[in-house]
């Protein structure tokens, strides 16, 4: 009986603890850390990630109730993990960034559950961490949370869902689901079903906006080359799927952006256009051959194709 009483008391104590709630105001330290975050991200300064993390983590410890700071800490860890190909050889401990990113986005979601971007990143990180640790329950939990994230903001999270799975083998069911998510992303952005055989985007360029949920379909100050990066990745996925001709149409869509001339990865895209047929095999390799192209998701510009100025 004593044991039952102790267990009951412990559960009651946990249940009755106050919830963690978001701060109404942000600290001066958080605002300064944000400046370094954006400067580092938009400059593509991968080597300064530790400096940005030091500032952001310090700001988080000063105020652990700030969802924006929590998400920015998580984002720095995502970037370091996503572009791990910059390290040769890749360090095994870089996988710790998946765990830390998941933790900080978990906090961001707790503090601001209405922010669908946080939810999408959290879901993708659950799947990533679960895959690393061969934890199928965690992978499936992330998979179904991602469905909630897509429902909450399809224009943003169809891409998040697709990009997460674009590194999977070309013959896997989840890769094909990811490819369909990319098509659905286009459909919700333009408000109609895009022609799967000839997805020329020229007639949709008039829809560009900086407001509302569809703003994430275009370039913005957060992601100065989001449009170009989206079509680069979509083209890569189509090539990997064995559809190089359609992939080239997707690549050419990236060139329609007004900001294309300033995009740091123009040369990559132009090489993709000429090399699409031979990249089918290259993109399907588990280990890339020397000097062969790799899909965007496994590249040194996995994040920067969209975010670098």
Quote the CA–CA distance of 86 and 35 in Å, as a whole number. 24
Question: Where do the domains of the chain lie, and which CATH numbers do they carry?
Answer: 29-152 (1.25.40.10), 164-309 (no CATH)
Per residue in 51-82, pLDDT (tens digit) is 999 999 999 999 999 999 999 999 999 999 99
Tell me the percentage of the chain whose pLDDT exceeds 90. Answer: 87
The pLDDT score that the predictor gives to residue 12 is 66
pLDDT tens sequence across 240-276: 999 999 999 999 999 999 999 999 999 999 999 999 9
For the entire predicted model, the pTM comes to: 0.93
| Mean pLDDT, rounded, of the chain | 94
Ramachandran region of residue 198, left (φ > 0), alpha (ψ -120 to 50) or beta?
beta
Q: Could you give the angle at the alpha carbon of 37 between the alpha carbons of 34 and 38, nearest 5°? A: 90
156, 117 Cβ separation under 8 angstroms: yes
Distance separating alpha carbons of residues 115 and 91, to the nearest angstrom: 33
- Residue 14 pLDDT > 80, yes or no? no
Whether residue 22 is predicted with pLDDT greater than 90 in this model: the reply is no
Pick the closest to residue 128 from 78, 83, 69 (CA basis): 78
Give the closest residue to 196 by CA, choosing from 129, 234, 246. Answer: 246
């Amino acid at each position: 009986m004593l044991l039952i009483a102790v267990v009951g008391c412990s559960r009651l104590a946990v249940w009755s603890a106050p919830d963690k709630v978001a701060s109404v105001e942000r600290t001066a330290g958080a605002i300064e850390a944000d400046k370094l975050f954006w400067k580092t991200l938009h400059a593509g300064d991968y080597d300064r990630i530790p400096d940005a993390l030091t500032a952001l983590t310090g700001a988080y410890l000063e105020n652990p109730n700030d969802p924006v700071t929590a998400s920015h800490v998580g984002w720095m860890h995502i970037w370091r993990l996503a572009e791990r190909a910059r390290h040769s050889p890749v360090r095994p401990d870089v996988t710790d960034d998946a765990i830390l990113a998941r933790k900080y986005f978990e906090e961001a979601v707790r503090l601001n559950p209405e922010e669908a971007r946080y939810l999408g990143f959290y879901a993708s990180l659950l799947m990533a961490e679960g895959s690393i640790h061969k934890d199928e329950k965690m992978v499936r939990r992330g998979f179904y949370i991602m469905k909630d994230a897509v429902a909450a903001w399809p224009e943003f999270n169809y891409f998040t869902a697709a990009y997460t799975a674009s590194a999977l083998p070309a013959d896997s069911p989840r890769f094909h689901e990811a490819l369909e998510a990319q098509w659905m992303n286009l459909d919700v952005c333009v408000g109609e079903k895009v022609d799967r055989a000839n997805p020329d985007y020229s007639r949709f360029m008039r829809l560009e906006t900086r407001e509302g949920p569809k703003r994430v379909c275009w370039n913005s100050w957060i992601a100065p080359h989001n449009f170009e990066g989206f079509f680069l990745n979509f083209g890569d996925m189509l090539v990997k799927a064995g559809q190089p001709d359609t992939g080239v149409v997707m690549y050419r869509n990236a060139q329609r952006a007004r900001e294309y001339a300033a995009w740091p990865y123009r040369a990559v895209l132009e090489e993709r256009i000429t090399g699409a047929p031979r990249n089918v095999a290259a993109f399907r390799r588990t280990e890339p051959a020397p000097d062969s192209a790799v899909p965007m998701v496994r590249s040194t510009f996995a994040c920067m194709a969209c975010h670098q100025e």
